[in-house]
Structure 1
Amino acid sequence: MSTSSKAVVSFIVGAAVGVAVGYFLNSDKKDELVEKLRDQSEKLKEKWRKKKDQFQDELENELA
């Protein structure tokens, strides 16, 4: 694929994502979508905190 072909494909994909985001943000389901994203981000943050704490504990045990 040439550079110009990649640029066109990237532009089309970006435009499609932009249209989809715009549609959801202007729809009645916006609040529902935002709440789901917020819940998922909280779950992901908690998962990362647990992994970080586990790694930190293992590192401290290894160094002790």
Structure 2
Amino acid sequence: MANNSSKAVVSFIVGAAVGVAVGYLLNTDKRDELVEKLRFQADKLKDKFKKRKEHFEDALENELA
């Protein structure tokens, strides 16, 4: 029982710390730069997943043929 309580407390503290950090970063003068970097990274990740999906579809098509 105590283990679940300690996990909840740690989760709350980590969540609060992340929230404070994100709030701070989004309220600084470099917000636009940060948002642009995040968009760039999201686009890279999206492209990576798209390539893996295409590779998987090709491999599946070759297996079924």
When normalised by structure 2's length, the TM-score is 0.89
CA distance in 1, matches of 2:22, 2:55: 36
Aligned length: 64
Q: Structure 1: which 5+ runs fail to align? A: none
Shift of 1:2: 2.0
Instruction: Flag as ranges the 4+ runs of structure 1 deviating above 4 A.
Output: none
**Corresponding position of 1:19:** 20
**Corresponding position of 1:5:** 6
When normalised by structure 1's length, the TM-score is 0.90
Instruction: Give identity over the alignment, percent.
Output: 73
CA distance in 2, matches of 1:59, 1:4: 46
- Alignment RMSD: 1.1
Q: Is 1:47 matched with 2:48?
A: yes
CA deviations 1:4-59 (Å, max 9, x no partner) are: 22221111111101100000010011111110010000000101111111111111
